[in-house]
Structure 1
Amino acid sequence: MNLNNLYSSKRTGVDHKDDQNDPRSGYQRDYDRIVFSSAFRRLQNKTQVFPLPGSVFVHNRLTHSLEVSSVGRSLGSLVGKYIYENYQDELNSDSKTFYRNHLKNVLASACLCHDIGNPAFGHSGEDAMVSFFKKNKKELKAKFGEKEYYDLINFEGNANSIRVLTQQLNGKSKGGLRLTYSTLAAIAKYPCESIAQNGGFTHRKKFGFLQSEKNTFIEIALNTGMKKDNSVSDLSYFRHPFVWLVEAADDICYNIIDLEDAQRLKIIGTSHCESLLDNLIRCLGIEDVDKMDKTLATIKDKNERISYLRAKSINSLIFKAFEVYKSNLEDIVNGKHETSLFELISEGCGAVQEIVDFSVEHIYNERSVVEIENAGYNVMYELLNHFVHPILKNKKDKSDKKALRLIPKQYRTESESNYDKVMGIVDYLSGMTDIYATELYRKIKGIDIGLKS
């Protein structure tokens, strides 16, 4: 088990080392670069679960990402301290510094941008991308290479995250946000190319990088100790050990926070929500429940009671995820682990699965959620239809040219490759917020016409 080659301060797009006079570490700079990026800011108007905006505050992709980052930092602190204290003989001096001081920053950064590649309307936006290229197979497939077409008919927010963070847009800096390879490796849940995906394997359930970023990803993998999966002829790696912690932070947050949002929207009654969280806390056995009960007895506001139990639930899940990670560390580092930390926690605690089952039936299939998914699918599909066909025509008529004039310069390419041209359209559409996508859809469909003050 080699813990010394799992991290790298190298960055995309640059050959020189970071400024040694900067008081921040390279991994802290990753965090700052993400926070100040336009792609991250746009997450504030991308749906998490419930429609935006509403009279009751619910989480969007940005607030969700901030909370996942907080949980990721906690997990990084626990795991980094554990590795530093228990593997002294195996760590070189740089590794001792990394695990003691920097792993938490890598995880905080990775968690912050884990959803940055998700299109408007979340999974329904992804579904629209996939559906469009599948339904237009006869017209489109012959225009792309086999692997390029696989990228398009399997569009995936995780893979798109690597592109958003590393690509050089027209007129922009080389290397995208120029993040460290460590942060980028930590968000690759499915580190394979699209043609290699296979639902029977955790690391190949979906895919993690597009053909346009394949060479970049190879560099990331080589510099962060990722192990190649030689069981498949197409390019695939086993998950980087840090990925399991980023995934756990995400799973912890959305399973608990979505329940809290549902309570505020009155989809679930307060007493029922309290019961689910209370059962979870007692089942996990981390918290001092006598102390918790005494504190709860002093809290009369119903929303504050739920907030308190939510905090205790997340804290319990963090420490339980840490325990599971420690128990499986050797297999995780050696690329032999297959089951998510949250799933392993669920197997040992029925109260976790009870929350998951309730969420699937009553939250993710709640009417307003389904409505926004349907609307988002139609919006994204029609926008693709409006732009993709014109960009691929050799002889463009006046309407085609007018349509393409709506594409911002940064998303245009001088490349003759059909794949590059279409990926520019995909970049533009996937970067949109729900609100912007809806407004553009209404304008090109003639629903909203004319200038507005």
Structure 2
Amino acid sequence: MSRAPFASDPDQSRGRQHGEARGAERGPRTEYQRDRDRIIHSIAFRRLRGKTQVFIAPEGDHYRTRLTHSLEVAQIGRVIARALNLDEDLTEALCLGHDIGHPPFGHAGERALDEAAARHGGFDHNGHTLRTLAHLECTYIGFRGLNLTWDTLEGLAKHNGPVSSPRWALREVDDAYPLELHTHPSLEAQVAAISDDIAYDNHDMDDGLRAGYLQLDSVLAIPLTGTLFREVERRHPRAPMERLLRELIRTQIGVMVQDVIAETRRRCENLGSADEVRSAGRASCAFSPALEEDERRLKRAMYELLYYHPEQVATAERAREVVARLFAAYSQDAALLPDAWRHTLPGEEPGRTRHIVDFIAGMTDRYAMDRCAAIYGRVPGGLRLV
């Protein structure tokens, strides 16, 4: 496949913080393929299967988790990257790794940890993604972390754009291996970010309809979705509703992907290198203005109808309480920590608090509820062990 002039080139990678010999015994892979594979084989990636995407401790098996969401983001990202002649492996690595820093219970858990560590720098999931991959994952003999390329670390740090005020976790990684946080990231990172938007816009809608939190008439009142549903109905007039809804989600994803490809091609017409993408002063991968407005309306509706649904808000508060209780317990009695974490617990702040936060952030939803029940005798009402 020919590579676009503005694509990232693994042969021109800025390298790794810790030099490594290229051993042929592990197969003929590019630097970006090695990064992708290190993410896939990491413990943190495997734990995503037990972490909340939208629904906390759902009763059904068909709802997305952080793991299945990340796989769906990677599928969308590779389609866009291939159409634009970008590096698919770097795109995939960024899509698969972008949510690794999420704690149990998603944003509810993140809020609890941010409050718990407020005096010591707080917590944010994107910074913790970098901290996990660059520091906490320890599978190699010669260094801590996965020793990912600069290009992958930069893309994860800035996949939502330049970072003007990094918090402590990201700043710590950046101080050790400067990532030029003030610029835009590679086009592959920008594709990963917009693929994340496309995936959760559509798959959260799919899950919300399945769970009954979203009502069909409310969803069809969203301008883009309603227009596309009428077109789907016209093409398949006698299809059952369940099939129509699946076709609607596929169609809406396709419309968004095609729009991104066309708009990004237009924005990249005069870009001659990956560095020009970084210095362009604006996002080079984006929706067209018209679809950007449609997508913004869709997001507003999803927040109103799904993410801020009263039952969702109540469940999130109970989940936040689980994480807050765990932090309180481990802070008051370090003997409750597993041996490996207790023996490495720093004696001084902020290291002590951050160490406990690292432990809790790595938990799956189930493990967090299990530990809460073991310490306190129960979990907050409305949550259950599954």
Q: Same fold (TM over 0.5)?
A: yes
State the shift of 1:445 in Å.
1.5
Q: Which residue in 1 is equivalent to 2:382?
A: none
Aligned-partner SS, 1:297:
coil
User: 2-side partners of 1:422 and 1:347: how far apart?
Assistant: 46
Q: Which residue in 2 is equivalent to 1:203?
A: 163
Query: Gapped runs of 5+ residues in structure 1?
Result: 81-98, 138-148, 192-200, 222-227, 229-235, 284-288, 391-399, 449-453
Query: Are 1:382 and 2:328 matched, yes or no?
Result: no
Name the CA shift for 1:350/1:181 in 2 (closer, same or farther; >3 Å).
Answer: closer
Query: Are 1:309 and 2:251 matched, yes or no?
Result: no
Compute the TM-score of the two structures, normalised by the length of structure 2: 0.81
Q: Contact between 2:322 and 2:368, CA under 8 Å: does it hold in 1?
A: yes
1:61-97 deviation line (CA, Å, top 9, x unaligned)? 11111100111111211222xxxxxxxxxxxxxxxxx
* Structure 2 counterpart of 1:266, one-letter code: G
Q: Contact between 2:6 and 2:277, CA under 8 Å: does it hold in 1?
A: no
Name the CA shift for 1:301/1:293 in 2 (closer, same or farther; >3 Å).
Answer: closer
Query: Are 1:110 and 2:94 matched, yes or no?
Result: yes
Query: Are 1:16 and 2:21 matched, yes or no?
Result: yes
User: 2-side partners of 1:322 and 1:263: how far apart?
Assistant: 28
State the shift of 1:325 in Å.
2.4
Query: Are 1:167 and 2:138 matched, yes or no?
Result: no
Compute the TM-score of the two structures, normalised by the length of structure 1: 0.70
Q: Contact between 1:120 and 1:430, CA under 8 Å: does it hold in 2?
A: yes
Name the CA shift for 1:414/1:121 in 2 (closer, same or farther; >3 Å).
Answer: closer
Aligned-partner SS, 2:102:
coil
Q: Say which one has the larger Rg.
A: 1
User: 2-side partners of 1:250 and 1:387: how far apart?
Assistant: 34
**What does 1:34-433 align with in structure 2 at a 5 Å threshold?**
34-55=39-60, 57-80=62-85, 99=86, 103-134=87-118, 137=119, 149=120, 152-153=121-122, 155-168=123-136, 173=141, 174-189=143-158, 203-204=163-164, 207=167, 209-218=169-178, 221=179, 228=180, 236-241=181-186, 242-270=188-216, 273=219, 276=222, 278-279=225-226, 281=228, 295-297=235-237, 300-329=239-268, 330=271, 332-337=277-282, 341=286, 344-345=287-288, 347-348=290-291, 350-388=293-331, 390=332, 400-403=333-336, 406-409=337-340, 412-413=343-344, 418-433=349-364
Matched-pair identity in %: 24
Name the CA shift for 1:246/1:217 in 2 (closer, same or farther; >3 Å).
Answer: farther
Q: Which residue in 2 is equivalent to 1:445?
A: 376
Aligned-partner SS, 1:423:
helix
Aligned-partner SS, 2:236:
helix
* Structure 1 counterpart of 2:214, one-letter code: I
* Structure 1 counterpart of 2:163, one-letter code: H
Q: Contact between 1:190 and 1:205, CA under 8 Å: does it hold in 2?
A: no
Query: Gapped runs of 5+ residues in structure 2?
Result: 380-386
Would you say how many aligned residue pairs link Structure 1 and Structure 2?
Answer: 364
* Structure 2 counterpart of 1:116, one-letter code: I
Name the CA shift for 1:309/1:240 in 2 (closer, same or farther; >3 Å).
Answer: same
RMSD: 3.3
Aligned-partner SS, 2:75:
helix
1:198-253 deviation line (CA, Å, top 9, x unaligned)? xxx963376584344233441xx3xxxxxx4xxxxxxx422313332111011111
User: 2-side partners of 1:360 and 1:385: how far apart?
Assistant: 31
State the shift of 1:254 in Å.
0.7
1:339-365 deviation line (CA, Å, top 9, x unaligned)? 983xx5465465433322221111001
Name the CA shift for 1:358/1:132 in 2 (closer, same or farther; >3 Å).
Answer: same
